[in-house]
Structure 1
Amino acid sequence: MPRVTFDRLEIKPERLKPTRNLLLGFDGKRVDPIGMVELTVQDTERALTEIFIVVEIHPSYNLLMGRGWIHRVQGVPSTLHQVMRCLSPDGNKVIDIHGDQVAAKECYIITLKSAGKGKAPIRSASPR
């Protein structure tokens, strides 16, 4: 979980617990965690408790859910469609968990701009 998401959720900093987890960013560089926090994630059919590692990064996403969580909800994510399809806990219906495409694009643009500081210029892309 990026620190900015942690702050936006208005979670009290004292809920952070120390962690020794070693994290590597997508660029292969070490990322030192600020701490970890246990939160309940609610979809339309269930509430699952997850542990999130909070890091000081500027990502193109608000939160990453791990493979363990995706497998527990029997999810099939589509980054193209910004949706994850999963089964209800009883297995009788399909649930679609939608991402916010506008927020995702805004995060992506911020990431591109911050990555471009002191580096090669960034070319902009227009939506189709």
Structure 2
Amino acid sequence: MVTECLVQRIWIDPGSSANVMTQITFDWLKIAPEKLKPTGNPLLDFDGKWVEPIGIVELPVLADKRELMESFVVVAIHPSYNLLMGRGWIHRVQGVPSTLHQIMSCLSLDRSRVIDIYGDQVAAKECYSVTLKADGKGKRPVWSDILR
């Protein structure tokens, strides 16, 4: 959950140094534009082009009873995912992601057990299919089921 909204289609990417939010998701979450802080650092887009971020916003992210304040780089791109959680967040939740199995394992808050956060295989395949149909440029957003 982000700002008390259940967001679907989140990509957990251990190769990303930043958490990324699309401008469409930012608008959908109804976040006040004045919460955006400027940034002068360009970001490498999913299709290999440099994009200028709209700004950075800090928001609470809840994953299995663990809430962390996370910074998101907001960009005007249209990938098939609504959010991308990078390795900083993965490390803070002590997560071990597997893109093959669409699962991320992490320790519970009291460190007594392992929690598995499952992805949706069907949604992942749909997102991948949409990206392929867009000639690999990720320009067609998928917005069904953002909120359940």
The alignment's TM-score, normalised by the length of structure 2, stands at: 0.68
Where structure 2 has 5 or more consecutive residues not aligned to the other structure, the ranges are: 1-20, 138-148
Q: Highest relative contact order (Cα 8 Å, sep 6+), 1 or 2? A: 2
Q: What fraction of aligned residue pairs are identical, expressed as a percent?
A: 71
Cα contact 2:47–2:136 (8 A) shared by 1: no
Cα contact 1:3–1:56 (8 A) shared by 2: yes
Q: How does 1:60-99 map to 2 (within 5 A)?
A: 60-99=80-119
Deviation of 1:42 (Å)? 0.5
Where structure 1 has 5 or more consecutive residues not aligned to the other structure, the ranges are: 118-128
Against the structure 1 CA distance between its residues 116 and 59, is the aligned structure 2 distance closer, same or farther, given a 3 Å change threshold?
closer
User: Aligned partner of 1:29: which letter?
Assistant: K
Cα contact 1:70–1:76 (8 A) shared by 2: yes
Deviation of 1:97 (Å)? 1.7
The alignment's TM-score, normalised by the length of structure 1, stands at: 0.77
Which residue in 2 is equivalent to 1:6? 26
Deviation of 1:89 (Å)? 2.2
User: Aligned partner of 2:80: which letter?
Assistant: S
Which residue in 1 is equivalent to 2:77? 57
**Aligned pairs, how many?**
117
Aligned counterparts of 1:105 and 1:10: Cα–Cα separation in 2: 28
Q: What value does the CA root-mean-square deviation take over the aligned residues?
A: 2.1
- For 1:64-121, what per-residue CA distance to the aligned partner results, in whole angstroms no more than 9, with x for missing partners? 111111111110111122221100122101112222334333333332233379xxxx
Return the index of the structure with the highest Cα Rg.
Answer: 1
Aligned counterparts of 2:135 and 2:121: Cα–Cα separation in 1: 21
Counterpart among 15, 20, 23 of residue 43 in structure 2: 23
Cα contact 2:103–2:117 (8 A) shared by 1: yes
Which residue in 1 is equivalent to 2:125? 105
1:39 paired with 2:35, answer no
Against the structure 1 CA distance between its residues 34 and 116, is the aligned structure 2 distance closer, same or farther, given a 3 Å change threshold?
same
